[in-house]
Structure 1
Amino acid sequence: MGHGTRSTGPTRTLMPRTPKTQEALDARDALASALSRAGIQLPAMDVRTPWADDGEVRYALVHLGVCSAPVALMLADVILRGIAA
């Protein structure tokens, strides 16, 4: 697993709190909440921070991990229903 925290389980503190990492953590939590409301749970969602040569965190990524085919189909269905609304 990369540097970061997961939406479930114990919080890891390997990632420095910067505005960029906080933005990614907030986005991960908002997405996890929205997916949960739609009845979808991804097995792993975390935030990863690529490190620059100088050790600074320039951006952070919300890593969605992998999911099963049924979960992918559920995601597609929720997205398409949202587009049609």
Structure 2
Amino acid sequence: MEAMERRRAAADRVRVAEGVVEQLREGLAEFGVKLPSLRIDPVSCAGDEPAPLVDLGRCNIDTALRLCEVLAEKESGHDG
């Protein structure tokens, strides 16, 4: 029974990570930012007790600049 519980807990961690990735994707999209490589790192999900990592991926300079703009706007108190 213990092995089954561990598998369920592992599956729950992966589901939570999937939800986080989707939340990030939607939240960034609201500010016009798209990270095409945003995903769960598959290697971190391997094994009996996965510890999923969110891979923000690689982005081009335009996307990185847009992220900087969004962060600067939030820091200055502007949401535009």
Tell me whether the two structures share a fold, i.e. TM-score over 0.5: yes
Root-mean-square deviation (Å): 1.6
Equivalent of 2:67 in 59, 75, 78: 75
Q: Structure 1 or 2: larger helix share? A: 2
Aligned to 1:62: 54
Q: Does 1:44 align with 2:37?
A: yes
4+ aligned runs moved over 4 Å, structure 1 = none
Q: Percent identity?
A: 24
Q: What secondary structure is seen at the aligned counterpart in 2 of 1:22?
A: helix
Aligned to 1:25: 18
TM-score by length of 1: 0.67
For residues 8-32 of structure 1, give each alpha carbon's deviation from its aligned partner in whole angstroms, at most 9, with x where no partner exists: xxxxxxxxx7121111111110110
TM-score by length of 2: 0.71
Unmatched 5+ stretches in structure 2: 1-9
Number of positions where the alignment pairs a residue of Structure 1 with one of Structure 2: 66
Aligned to 1:6: none
Unmatched 5+ stretches in structure 1: 1-16
Structure of larger gyration radius: 2
